[in-house]
Chains A and B, each alone.
Chain A
């Protein structure tokens, strides 16, 4: 019996050691130091990391006393970060500020009372004047505003391989007027021997293509109405859009479900497709491949969406219960400042949200995007979290992915209507 007791004590001791090891090695030394800010992002590599580093350098200049700590969780276009973040919010252990797509993706946090209203911050920093009115409109939720955009991307861009189009006798410099005209060109291209003239990738890129078609067929107002309930999901226009989208899939590479966006863009780069609908971050892939804008590739707003800017933005929030609130506000000030926006966006290849940015500071593509951003009607991107809440987007994504596999238009329509109804 004695040895038995010993054994139990030994077993307990081992566990105790493990537990003690955990509790004694305390966390960072300066948990309560007010001069630090914990920023939660999914920018961890590539041009995003370069941009973030540039932003942090500006922050260090403006607020030399505040230590910046980055709790980056990358992967799954921010879905890993979202999951980890939700669990921390749930445990009442929020980071000071976290990255989120601007727009409806924030609704869940807002409803749960996890974000602070930043309207007065906007007032104090003159941001209502600095940002375009239509952007402010998209960011505002029940009269309040909950995030500060750091950068803007455009999602309704069609990338064009000049050689491929010219080979089929199509003028690459002029965008087709409408979806129907574009489908005619795609047909011409296919008949000329390009078997899959439209390069397409995995589920979210399909969702982005679908949202482009919706904008083209419903117009800015009709498309925006889908998200606030003023446009019916079973309207004739949506059905037309589903029809167009189905036709477009017929022109796409058959392996689309398995391709990342960059692999889809690569098909265009390799001259195996004529078109690719992708956000303007694709510019980096063309630059990396050594191609020149205007001679080897060109871009237009997706046919039928001219004059509309389908926007998405990364933004930062102020969490309720942020342990270092003043420091977090300083971070937001840096992000929204002209200097901060410039440092970040030049590195990342996106455009600033501020209208007072000097266009000539930026490369050529970004200059054209900046001009459109100020003139065009701004609508919110579905595929990138601006238009619909996370759960709505997830339902739509699944419906579109299913359509990509079975091409059942009736079921897609039913699913779209059901997804909208589930949000009520």
Chain B
């Protein structure tokens, strides 16, 4: 009995402030949000009745919302792949030992320091889609360096254009992922590497069986940080393109409905976004639980 209290009590006591606060400010507000999504509150006038799941049914059948989901999917895939790729690549190269590592690291890391409130304008210019004579932004630079064939219409391309919107996001967060991976590389005890080399493991096998498994908690942590930003991507799109149809994602769509006082729809979109979040969280949790079990 006493043992039970020892196991339960202290951790829960210590966690209870967090649990209570999040219970109010996250779950309480989510509940308030879900409640609004079940009403007919489509203007500033208070809701008159509950409409059940009508708002959800209407939203999921709407072309505009599906379009915003498709945009989000393209954005998310490119954003996650880009940050993980560059983050890993930079960390891997820096880990091999580089003079002036501090400079490289600071440069790669610093875009995180810049908010999109004003750098958004720069990105809007850089991603301008005009080509040839009127080319400005990145297209101009590609032309100048004789890479004119790489010029493209960036995010104005209807289907895959959202991939271009991910560029500023990759720019901003790759450095963070790099830092996480670099810390991961440095955290791998040298003895492990040496032991593997002694055993005659090839470089690939060293990575496959020693380094990657050691990095996987870090990779997962990076993945979940990047994916939560991806789902909520808002500032970036608002400042680079504004809330327009072509680059609409659920978060900006939600903003449009919020500013036009359609609270029920806005709340519905928010709830769908939260459900989408579990698509990322659940595999993550399963994976962590499994790997920790394996380690113990």
Contacts and interface: CB of A to CB of B under 8 A. Distances in A.
Nearest to A114: B44
Nearest to B10: A4
B156 A11 contact: no
B259 A111 contact: no
Given A111-B43, A260-B124, A405 B246 contact: yes
B287 interface: no
Contact of A391 (B246, B248, B262): B262
Contacts of A306: none
Interface stretch (A166-174, A178-186, A356-364, A396-404): A396-404
Contact of B127 (A11, A111, A258, A393): A258
Given A255-B130, A257-B246, A258-B241, A83 B124 contact: no
Contacts of A111: 43-45
Interface stretch (B13-21, B77-85, B210-218): B13-21
Interface string B246-285: 1010000001111111100000000000000000000000
B241 A202 contact: yes
Interface string B9-50: 110011011000100000000000000000000111100000
A284 interface: no
Contacts of A267: 134
Number of chain B interface residues as a range = 35 or more
Given A258-B124, A258-B127, 4 more contacts: A112-B45, A254-B130, A257-B241, A390-B260
A109 B128 contact: no
The 5 A-B pairs of least Cβ separation, nearest first, read A401-B245, A112-B44, A391-B260, A203-B244, A255-B129
Interface in B112-157: 124, 127-131, 134, 153-156
B227 interface: no
Given A255-B129, A405-B246, A8 B16 contact: yes
Interface string A403-421: 0111000000000000000
B158 A254 contact: no
A90 B16 CA distance: 31
A324 interface: no
B221 interface: no
B134 A391 contact: no
Given A82-B259, A390-B261, A254 B153 contact: yes
A272 B260 contact: no
A404 B44 contact: no
Nearest to B265: A391
Given A108-B43, A257-B246, A406-B158, A83 B127 contact: no
A79 interface: yes
Contacts of B261: 86, 108, 390-391
A89 interface: yes
Given A86-B261, A112-B44, A260-B124, A405 B130 contact: no
A259 B158 CA distance: 16
A398 B129 contact: no
B259 A394 contact: yes
A39 B134 CA distance: 43
A257 B237 CA distance: 13
B259 A8 contact: no
A398 to B, nearest CB: 5
A76 B238 contact: yes
A390 B259 contact: yes
Nearest to B155: A258
B72 to A, nearest CB: 16
B288 interface: no
Nearest to A8: B13
A253 B134 contact: yes
Nearest to B157: A405
B64 interface: yes
Contact of B43 (A1, A11, A202, A391): A391
B59 to A, nearest CB: 14
A259 B136 CA distance: 12
Contacts of A253: 130, 134
Contact of A12 (B17, B155, B242, B256): B17
Interface in A53-87: 76, 79, 82-83, 86
21 contacts: A8-B16, A12-B17, A15-B17, A15-B21, A76-B243, A86-B44, A89-B44, A109-B44, A111-B44, A111-B45, A112-B43, A112-B44, A114-B44, A203-B244, A258-B241, A259-B128, A272-B134, A391-B260, A394-B259, A398-B245, A398-B256
Nearest to B20: A15
A315 B245 CA distance: 28
Contacts of A406: 158
Given A11-B14, A79-B243, A258-B241, A108 B259 contact: no
A35 to B, nearest CB: 30
